[in-house]
Chain A
Amino acid sequence: MKLTALIERDLRLAYRRRGELATPVIFFVIVTALFPLALNPEPTLLRSLAPGVIWVAALLAVLIGQDSLFKTDYEDGSLELMLLSPLSLEWIVLLRVFTHWLATGLPLVMLSSLMALLLDYPMHAVGVLVMSLLLGTPVLSFLGAVGAALTVGLRRGGMLLPILVLPLTVPVLIFGAAAAGRAAVGEPAAAPLYFLGAMLVLALTLAPFAITAGLRISLES
């Protein structure tokens, strides 16, 4: 199938510039590590703050990473070819965001369990934390992709993107951090996880349309 060839291309490219793609992940690790330095490194305090700290750091890291989603394609002209392809741009974009998430979001989710240990987050709840990030970070990727599509033609788009997208990410942050927080104190975390799942379904179905519309507008001039 053709679309698998596109995934293959994206993953191959991602592998060749893995250094660049690692930056959001490194950013995530460093930001998480800064909190104990700014706060009091007392274990009970850290434990109570851990879900929020990890979630905010993941949110920022994912959004910062999304700036590069279409940038190189825009600069080298591949984006025009994508738009001129007779294949459905929605599908192309969906795969694009997904492979980008595989390259940046997934490593971040994996590392979050490690960061959880540094923040004295209870071991028994790590599964829920990882699950919440697994469901939530793709939603962030899609929201970030909408912002990236709208700002791809702008020279100073990198600063603008978080301003546009951060307010939209509030529900993901709330449910994600709540799931991780509840699990840590032994409360049931299913409800917020379901909400995250529902948002993921919404993002998967609606965001590609917003992203393609944004790309078409950005490339018009």
Chain B
Amino acid sequence: MDQLTNYLFIAAVLFSLGVFGVITRRNGIAVLMGVELILNAANLNFVAFSRFGGMNLDGHIFGLIVIVLAAAEAAVALAIIINIYNNLNTINVDDASSMKQ
């Protein structure tokens, strides 16, 4: 538990799973959840580097900012999704293609 690589591996797993989710899911909300996983992986890395880099608190700050961004992103994304749903009656990202050429 006192090894950097352990945390990095866990973060790598989370990241890979998040990417997989984003690539494969068709439901917008599910895609969003994949993004949350990716963000958590990144956050975990930040904090881990902070801990093993001499308890430098800068990493924590970045982590905080990422959390805030995630919150903002989630709020906006969900608002968009609900809008799409209200207009198209679906939340599948492929179906929302009226802006496609």
Does B bind A? no
